[in-house]
Amino acid sequence: MTGELHEAKRPVSAVLAGPYGHPFHPMLVAVPIGAWVASMVFDLASRFAPDPGFLAEGSKWLIAIGVLGALAAAMAGFLDLFAIPAGTPAFRTGLLHMGLNLVITAAYAAGFLWRQALSPTAAGGPVALGPLLLSAGSLALLVVSGYLGGKLAYRYGVRVADEVTQAGGFRR
């Protein structure tokens, strides 16, 4: 194993980023992904429900939970990015992944504020088309960013235990 590949598998700080072979970032991303997907389901359901207010309100707060979860995931992900040698394809992929996630998180934060600022007369109604489209676009970008995160882990092996360590799970 090359020195650079070995370096990308080890945490900068095991306490903050997770121990070898158990990074925190992939565990933490489940919160924003789940919250934002659920918020889209609530958004769409609010367009068809006879009493959509609770769905619109629930969606707004799911977005807020997702933004907070994304900030926590970003901290661990940033530490993982530090472990990747600069100038490599894995590092460039990591930068793109991080940049997209920052845009996505900012868009969801703006969407939360937009929903919060809507007139009181809109309260109790379905999610307005503008915030719904912003969430849909953000969710589409999240799919692209998730693909890049998967590429980092599954193709480049960033923060994944090396094959010698993995082989221990297949010995009889």
CA distance 114 to 72: 23
Element holding 94 (H helix, E strand): helix 89-117
Model pTM score: 0.87
Q: What is the pLDDT of residue 94?
A: 96
The pLDDT tens digits for 40-96 are: 999 999 999 999 999 999 999 999 999 999 999 999 999 889 888 999 999 999 999
Domain boundaries, the chain: 27-161
Structural contact between residues 94 and 158, judged by C-beta atoms closer than 8 angstroms = yes
CA distance 54 to 101: 28
The pLDDT tens digits for 4-50 are: 666 666 656 655 666 666 788 899 999 999 999 999 999 999 999 99
Cβ within 8 Å of residue 138, ≥6 positions away: 36, 104, 107, 108, 111
